[in-house]
Chain A
């Protein structure tokens, strides 16, 4: 019990006490506290356990740089896992529990693991759990891994708002440099946005506690804030820039309090000024993980912001002059302070409950050891944007080097630690001027660990990476920093290199006998701090997560009792009553199908015919106006991309009716080829699918229905694969004679606004012929009876058109076309290519089942149905050399079951096509 609340000071509201619990014990704090500051004020030292050895951990820092105090927090029945105690604002009634500890952080039963630490060095599980089988141990290890606990309950209303915005200058960090820069730029007329992740502006000015340009920190901060706002600048507090993305897009997470989803701001900034400050750098020495060993800056933050002293008897181990400045502040708070020079020999913390530090041959009694091994500029955003880092020998740190476009750094983030220098630099950079040279550099000699010591010296407090682990990594040749990071887990997870990175680099550099810049740095990636996945979620949720396209006739289908389902990105009627009955109805009488999703892509221009000749496997240029042709589009690899029909409207206009699910893909493919090798002013592509409804009348009684509809078309002379124009009342329409069922069919395409009246009329007439509506499932059965394929279902990523029986263009087409060359490759001519066949069996074959010879798969079942027309199972399949195997018996294997089948031609019904004109 060493930390205590000072009688005065801090930004907290002492008139508003708050009650909370930690690991089941009750404590109190004040409005403005964080969970960590309140616990520290209550004298709580142990706030967590390390990941691997379950060593006790106190707080190291006071903000996002603390790796130790991570809690599951419950408030009003809502639990959030993995809350950083240092950044979670205290609320009355909070119940916090340390993660990775049972039953409490103070008395963690798994703490016994630390006794076996010698058996668990870096990478031990890679080596230990490989025999007899990793999976034997996987469950146990996964159970032990991880930190917080999800309670499985959704938090109602937990939804992130998203905003897009712009500014001339985005200033990241509301400390002294950031405030000065933002004010200067705003007063110069720039559209300025200043963000600060703390609830209050000021950054490190509070802990510094010295006048700023003749004013108290609070007055100076208030003056800058007022001036920025008066000049039209904007300020967002409680907001963290978590990443810089392409084209100066900065992602901001705006905090709204506990269990409320943060807002996402996507800010497009003309310039980004990084005034993100610098982090305290740890010192590597024996037992430096003991609770009570803290960063100096962290302790000063607790004192300045929360009125909490970290201890009463404090030793400060430092290599820089900030410790000297801190001494009177700590003493004013009632602490006894001893300064120790970290450059003068190694140190060792004494006592499980810290009671002293051995340093330079002396033992100094203390209950708290504050350390400062220098500063590490916060350069994460700089690296996200692709900026380079330079090593600065004076301050022994990586600082921003060659700048990414539209980005600059100032203040401590740029290695300028003196406040006056930082303010001058920030004001200059804010106006895109060159920064004046620093007048008062703050030298910080590099501290290197004692690599000859056998003591336990911590590099990464959260993941229990010690100096010994770095040595082991070096010994096993994981000397690249990227390998070092992954082998040891150094700097991973929330830390992201904030505290552990430089200590690890220094150790590896020392071990390799090289400098830190020669050793290099790891890659920084967004997010800078952990953010909930909800932040990225946006409005796309529930039915809007991946919404289907909706038919203009959907309400009619619902009223008819249709079962709706997803087909190629559309919500379509699967069936209305009974699939088999619908098939029999359409085969024997007539069916009405909503075929609206069929592609209606117009290709127009003087070069349209030549263009389609190039894009299609088949010859299109010879197609006459008024006629329709079935064809394939191929990829450059000769693989079937889509099939469908092309109708020629006039010499310069074609309409492609492609697969319903491929409209976007076909449009993109056409547009891609249009822009490659064609005069772009002589051929254009319009996807007009959304403008039209298409209804198909199919079956032996289709013609009587068409006669009754009286659409003004010449039914007597209406040949298969031709089209005509007509009208429904005053609405012009197109009628095409194409068939996907094998029966006489008419596809009527009319403006979607007229779909409902046309459907109502047509359905009445269809029902008069003992027909009715049919769903897509019935059509799927009917097309399979005819051996008609569905691309992507009956073809795969290797299927070429000759595998489907379409080989004439490959042999005879003279004009160049997409995929031509690939159709003549050795692969394309292999005798064992998988070809489309039919399968007959007494059993309904599972789709996806393998066709086997012995234990080898030689094909797969691609479609399988019980044919209501033929009253037996039918299937389509891709089979090696299938075209030459008709009549062969074959074994179908599925889930250890073998089913006999016979290979047939793909077409099971009306192979001569007599029904087309029945």
Chain B
């Protein structure tokens, strides 16, 4: 039995954005994240969204949906939905605290992302799920010149530390 506390830095304060001339990295506090699985149209209807964002079409409004796979979306800042099986035929789980969200913006944002994954605006994908430096992430464009990454919260510390040296 070892005390390995010293081998791991205490969690950093994610609330401090990293701001450079051509790059800003900042944590985003999302009001609600809800995972919905089922026929995609049913999920979108429940999330009150017309479509789900994949790549590279950006998410534009405050509330939006992300396409994870054929039958799964993540509703972001969407309506409150009870966890469990919805009679319309969809599985619903609250993941508000399950994913940490980091926003990267500025001219260096895409080159920075391309250090960790393959993202080409000319190569579309229905899904925004990617491996970023080996982490399973959701990566999508946010409005005009920003990108957002969602990562499983227990690994958000590692993602943040990964991004810091590149900033």
User: Hey, which bits of chain A sit against chain B, CB under 8 A?
Assistant: 161-166, 266, 268, 538-540, 543-544, 547-552, 554-555, 558, 562-566, 570-571, 574-575, 579, 602, 604-606, 608, 649-650, 652-653, 680-681, 684, 686, 688-692, 751-753, 777
Instruction: Decide: A688 near B8, CB < 8 A? Known: A163-B114, A549-B154, A602-B91.
Output: no
* Interface residue tally on B, bucketed by range: 35 or more
Interface residues of B in 6-30 (CB under 8 A from A): 7-11
> Contact at B8–A543, with CB atoms within 8 Å?
yes
29 chain-A/chain-B pairs, Cβ below 8 angstroms:
A163-B114, A166-B118, A268-B120, A538-B134, A539-B116, A539-B133, A539-B162, A547-B155, A547-B158, A550-B156, A552-B153, A554-B10, A555-B10, A562-B5, A563-B3, A563-B4, A565-B1, A565-B3, A602-B91, A653-B84, A681-B39, A681-B71, A688-B93, A688-B94, A690-B152, A691-B94, A691-B97, A752-B97, A753-B96
Instruction: Decide: A565 near B2, CB < 8 A? Known: A539-B133, A684-B38, A690-B153.
Output: yes
> Contact at B85–A653, with CB atoms within 8 Å?
yes
> Contact at B118–A164, with CB atoms within 8 Å?
yes
- Binary contact track B59-72/A, C-beta < 8 Å → 1, others 0: 00000000000010
> Contact at A574–B133, with CB atoms within 8 Å?
no
How many angstroms from the CA of A266 to the CA of B162 in the assembled complex?
Answer: 19
Chain B contacts for A608, CB-based, 8 A: 85
Given contacts A166-B118, A564-B4, 20 further A-B contacts (CB under 8 A): A164-B118, A268-B118, A540-B134, A544-B161, A547-B155, A549-B154, A550-B157, A551-B154, A563-B3, A571-B4, A602-B91, A681-B89, A684-B37, A688-B95, A690-B152, A690-B153, A691-B93, A691-B95, A691-B97, A692-B98
**Nearest A residue to B72, CB-CB:** A684
A-B pairs, top 4 by smallest CB distance, nearest first, are A549-B154, A691-B98, A563-B3, A547-B158
Least Cβ–Cβ distance between B47 and chain A, in angstroms: 15
> Contact at B1–A652, with CB atoms within 8 Å?
no
Least Cβ–Cβ distance between A373 and chain B, in angstroms: 43
- B35 within 8 Å of A (CB atoms): yes
> Contact at A164–B123, with CB atoms within 8 Å?
no
Q: Which of B3, B39, B96 contacts A751 (CB 8 A)?
A: B96
> Contact at A652–B134, with CB atoms within 8 Å?
no
> Contact at B3–A564, with CB atoms within 8 Å?
yes
Least Cβ–Cβ distance between B2 and chain A, in angstroms: 6
> Contact at B11–A564, with CB atoms within 8 Å?
no
How many angstroms from the CA of A166 to the CA of B123 in the assembled complex?
Answer: 9
Chain A contacts for B162, CB-based, 8 A: 539, 544
Chain B contacts for A649, CB-based, 8 A: 84
Q: From DSSP, what is the main secondary structure of chain B's interface residues?
A: loop
Chain B contacts for A680, CB-based, 8 A: 71
How many angstroms from the CA of A549 to the CA of B100 in the assembled complex?
Answer: 13
Least Cβ–Cβ distance between A419 and chain B, in angstroms: 35
Identify which of B37, B111, B133 gathers the most chain A CB atoms within 10 Å of its CB: B37
> Contact at B154–A565, with CB atoms within 8 Å?
no
How many angstroms from the CA of A565 to the CA of B3 in the assembled complex?
Answer: 6
Least Cβ–Cβ distance between A560 and chain B, in angstroms: 11
> Contact at A563–B5, with CB atoms within 8 Å?
yes
Chain B contacts for A686, CB-based, 8 A: 35, 37, 91, 93, 95
How many angstroms from the CA of A161 to the CA of B2 in the assembled complex?
Answer: 34
Least Cβ–Cβ distance between B122 and chain A, in angstroms: 7
Q: Which of B8, B153, B158 contacts A564 (CB 8 A)?
A: B8
Interface residues of B in 92-117 (CB under 8 A from A): 92-99, 111, 114-117
Chain A contacts for B95, CB-based, 8 A: 686, 688, 690-691
Q: Which of A163, A549, A558, A688 contacts B115 (CB 8 A)?
A: A163
How many angstroms from the CA of A106 to the CA of B37 in the assembled complex?
Answer: 73
- B119 within 8 Å of A (CB atoms): yes
> Contact at B99–A605, with CB atoms within 8 Å?
no
Chain A contacts for B11, CB-based, 8 A: 550, 554-555
> Contact at B5–A544, with CB atoms within 8 Å?
no
How many angstroms from the CA of A162 to the CA of B3 in the assembled complex?
Answer: 34
Least Cβ–Cβ distance between B17 and chain A, in angstroms: 20
Chain B contacts for A551, CB-based, 8 A: 154
How many angstroms from the CA of A166 to the CA of B119 in the assembled complex?
Answer: 9
How many angstroms from the CA of A688 to the CA of B123 in the assembled complex?
Answer: 31
> Contact at B85–A690, with CB atoms within 8 Å?
no
Chain A contacts for B153, CB-based, 8 A: 552, 690-691, 752
Chain A contacts for B1, CB-based, 8 A: 563, 565, 574-575, 579, 777
Instruction: Decide: A164 near B119, CB < 8 A? Known: A690-B152, A690-B154.
Output: yes
Instruction: Decide: A604 near B5, CB < 8 A? Known: A653-B84, A681-B38.
Output: no
> Contact at A558–B38, with CB atoms within 8 Å?
no
Interface residues of B in 120-135 (CB under 8 A from A): 120, 122-123, 133-134
> Contact at B133–A652, with CB atoms within 8 Å?
no
How many angstroms from the CA of A163 to the CA of B71 in the assembled complex?
Answer: 31
**Nearest B residue to A652, CB-CB:** B85
> Contact at B154–A550, with CB atoms within 8 Å?
yes
Chain A contacts for B89, CB-based, 8 A: 681
Least Cβ–Cβ distance between B109 and chain A, in angstroms: 14
Q: Which of A161, A547, A753 contacts B157 (CB 8 A)?
A: A547
Least Cβ–Cβ distance between B50 and chain A, in angstroms: 22
Instruction: Decide: A540 near B5, CB < 8 A? Known: A686-B91, A751-B97.
Output: no
Q: Which of A552, A574, A690 contacts B99 (CB 8 A)?
A: A690
Instruction: Decide: A574 near B122, CB < 8 A? Known: A544-B158, A751-B97.
Output: no
Chain A contacts for B71, CB-based, 8 A: 680-681, 684
Instruction: Decide: A691 near B91, CB < 8 A? Known: A548-B8, A604-B85, A681-B38.
Output: no
Chain A contacts for B133, CB-based, 8 A: 538-540
> Contact at A558–B85, with CB atoms within 8 Å?
no
Least Cβ–Cβ distance between B162 and chain A, in angstroms: 5
> Contact at B85–A606, with CB atoms within 8 Å?
yes
> Contact at B97–A753, with CB atoms within 8 Å?
yes
How many angstroms from the CA of A579 to the CA of B134 in the assembled complex?
Answer: 36
Chain B contacts for A650, CB-based, 8 A: 84-85
> Contact at A690–B98, with CB atoms within 8 Å?
yes
How many angstroms from the CA of A684 to the CA of B10 in the assembled complex?
Answer: 36
> Contact at B154–A605, with CB atoms within 8 Å?
no
How many angstroms from the CA of A684 to the CA of B89 in the assembled complex?
Answer: 10
How many angstroms from the CA of A165 to the CA of B116 in the assembled complex?
Answer: 11
- Binary contact track B30-73/A, C-beta < 8 Å → 1, others 0: 00000101110000000000000000000000000000000100
How many angstroms from the CA of A166 to the CA of B117 in the assembled complex?
Answer: 12
**Nearest B residue to A263, CB-CB:** B115
Chain B contacts for A564, CB-based, 8 A: 3-5, 8
Instruction: Decide: A166 near B120, CB < 8 A? Known: A554-B11, A602-B91, A686-B37.
Output: yes
**Nearest A residue to B113, CB-CB:** A164
How many angstroms from the CA of A653 to the CA of B162 in the assembled complex?
Answer: 37
> Contact at A166–B122, with CB atoms within 8 Å?
yes
> Contact at B35–A164, with CB atoms within 8 Å?
no
Identify which of A164, A649, A691, A753 gathers the most chain B CB atoms within 10 Å of its CB: A691
How many angstroms from the CA of A604 to the CA of B36 in the assembled complex?
Answer: 11
Chain B contacts for A579, CB-based, 8 A: 1
Q: Which of A164, A570, A574 contacts B114 (CB 8 A)?
A: A164
> Contact at B98–A543, with CB atoms within 8 Å?
no
Least Cβ–Cβ distance between B23 and chain A, in angstroms: 15
> Contact at A543–B38, with CB atoms within 8 Å?
no
Least Cβ–Cβ distance between A745 and chain B, in angstroms: 23
Least Cβ–Cβ distance between A907 and chain B, in angstroms: 24
Least Cβ–Cβ distance between B81 and chain A, in angstroms: 13
Chain B contacts for A653, CB-based, 8 A: 83-85
How many angstroms from the CA of A543 to the CA of B95 in the assembled complex?
Answer: 27
> Contact at B158–A691, with CB atoms within 8 Å?
no
